Amino acid sequence: MDKTKVILGPFDVALEEPVYFKIEPNSDGKTIKSVDMINGFVHRGIESIVLQRNFLQNLIITEKVCALCSNNHPFTYCMAVEKIAALSLPERALYLRVVADEIKRIASHLFNLGMLAHLIHNKALMTQLLETREDFQDLKEAIWGNRMDLSANTIGGVKFDLDKTLIASIKKALDKNKSKIEAFIALFETDPALIARIGGVGVLSYENALNLGVVGPVARASGVNNDVRKRAPYAAYDKLHFDVILQKDGDVLSRAKVRLYEILESMKLLHQALDALPTGDIVLPTRTLIPEGEAISRTEAPRGELVYYLKTNGTQKPERMKWRVPTYMNWEALKVMMPNNSIDDVALIFNSIDPCISCTER
């Protein structure tokens, strides 16, 4: 048998995000023996660019790192700036941050599940999932005027407010879609064809998940609980009740189930946040100069833990700013998930980590 390698990518593996897979097949020619990945196709040097902009301009740059986590980047960045400037935010702003984040999470999870359905050629399921997501996209458009980049956060608070009509429309969207999500869960829990197709594929064991330091739904599908919202609460999460979703099998099916159940938890969080929404300001009334200092902040993005480090020197530009996105940790785990799976499933397994390459390479 010759040692032919299978090459996939860099373009159009699962998403339009580029990764170059070099796969060495087993002797049967159908399954994967080992996989090597080449990265760096969308590295843009954003960490250098942010050093040339001031703190307000960087709100916009951080939002442009990635579309699907575009709320968490400015959010976490703001938290770091606020820590250095020792700002304490109005209560209402903290709750509104949770609202923006959870709506974003629901839409993001549904998008990933839609891609999963697409990759297993279940077009009907894909349509249903993306139609459900559409309601949340419309909601974003109604509240923030944008369907992807919300521009919800600013240093010292948020840039949007919710009136009675908007709160009612959020609740309406939640009520309308809750039963749909439950129906999807029933499908993923019981449908024999679906379970046979994605169950046992791309397994990541609990030990490996711990060793590799994976985060987000990928970690929780392998039974590792590192949900930042619970472990190191921020914004208003310590005042709200929700459960961390854990599964044990660590396969593509478990990762899909974690995301589905998490949508229900996000709905719970949204209801609570909207009901308990305090009155008052949404942003601090005055702008502050940012003193010298350093801070680290983190949030739970839809894909997992997002970490920002910021160092300032008293000027109005950062001295060093670095961030680490969830896919950065989950990517290397593909080398463990893929061996002995069918070569046909590379895209399916790749999609199951909810990859965000433009985030990772910056």
Partner 1 sequence: MKSLHVKLNEITKTLALRCHFEPNSDSLWCEIADKNLLLQLAEILQTMNARVCMITAYEKENGHELVYHFDLSGVMLNLKLHITDKSVPSITPLFKSADWTERELSEIYGIAIVNHPNPKRLFLDEALKESVLKEYYSLSTAMSGKVSQELWSKVKAEEGVNRG
Residues 267-296 that bind partner 1 (CB under 8 A): 296
Should residue 211 be labelled a site residue for partner 1 when binding is judged by CB under 8 A? Answer: yes
Q: In this structure, what is the dihedral angle of CA atoms 88, 92, 96, 102, given to the nearest 10 degrees?
A: 90
The set of long-range contacts for 161-170, using a CB threshold of 8 Å and a minimum separation of 24, is 161/96, 161/282, 162/96, 162/99, 162/274, 162/277, 166/142, 167/274, 167/277, 169/139, 169/142, 170/99, 170/103, 170/139, 170/143, 170/270, 170/274
Element (H, E) at 206: helix 206-212
Q: Report how far residue 302's alpha carbon sits from residue 318's, in angstroms, rounded to the nearest whole number.
A: 26
- Side chain identity at residue 184, one-letter code: F
Q: Are 140 and 133 in contact, with CB atoms under 8 Å apart?
A: no
DSSP 70: T
Nearer to partner 1, 80 or 152 (CB): 80
Parallel, antiparallel, or unpaired: how do β-strands 6-8 and 20-25 relate?
antiparallel
* Closest CB 21 distance from partner 1, rounded Å: 14
Q: In this chain, which of 73, 105, 109, 298 binds partner 1, going by CB under 8 A?
A: 298
Q: In this chain, which of 25, 199, 200, 213 binds partner 1, going by CB under 8 A?
A: 213
Q: Report how far residue 319's alpha carbon sits from residue 122's, in angstroms, rounded to the nearest whole number.
A: 49
* Closest CB 317 distance from partner 1, rounded Å: 14
What number of chain residues touch partner 1 (CB under 8 A)? 37
Nearer to partner 1, 231 or 248 (CB): 231
* Closest CB 307 distance from partner 1, rounded Å: 5
Nearer to partner 1, 48 or 146 (CB): 48
The mark string for 113-132 relative to partner 1 (x by CB under 8 A, - otherwise) is --------------------
The Cα-based distances of 178 to 49, 182, 237, 271 in angstroms read 42, 6, 21, 12
* Closest CB 306 distance from partner 1, rounded Å: 10
Should residue 250 be labelled a site residue for partner 1 when binding is judged by CB under 8 A? Answer: no
Q: Report how far residue 340's alpha carbon sits from residue 345's, in angstroms, rounded to the nearest whole number.
A: 10
Nearer to partner 1, 84 or 129 (CB): 84
Q: How many angstroms separate the first and last alpha carbons of the chain?
A: 40
- Tokens 């040097």 belong to which residue? 45
The mark string for 218-237 relative to partner 1 (x by CB under 8 A, - otherwise) is --------x-x--xx-----
Q: Report how far residue 269's alpha carbon sits from residue 280's, in angstroms, rounded to the nearest whole number.
A: 20
Should residue 102 be labelled a site residue for partner 1 when binding is judged by CB under 8 A? Answer: no
The mark string for 170-209 relative to partner 1 (x by CB under 8 A, - otherwise) is ----------------------------------------
Residues 23-42 that bind partner 1 (CB under 8 A): 38-42
Q: In this chain, which of 16, 45, 124, 286 binds partner 1, going by CB under 8 A?
A: 45
DSSP for 131-196 reads HHHHHHHHHHHHHHS-SS----EETTEES----HHHHHHHHHHHHHHHHHHHHHHHHHHH-HHHHH
**Structure-block tokens of residue 96:** 């509104």
The mark string for 315-334 relative to partner 1 (x by CB under 8 A, - otherwise) is ----xx-xxx---xx-xx--
Nearer to partner 1, 144 or 323 (CB): 323
* Closest CB 72 distance from partner 1, rounded Å: 15
Interface residues with partner 1 (CB under 8 A) are 10, 18, 20, 38-45, 47-48, 210-213, 226, 228, 231-232, 296, 298, 305, 307, 309, 311, 319-320, 322-324, 328-329, 331-332, 361
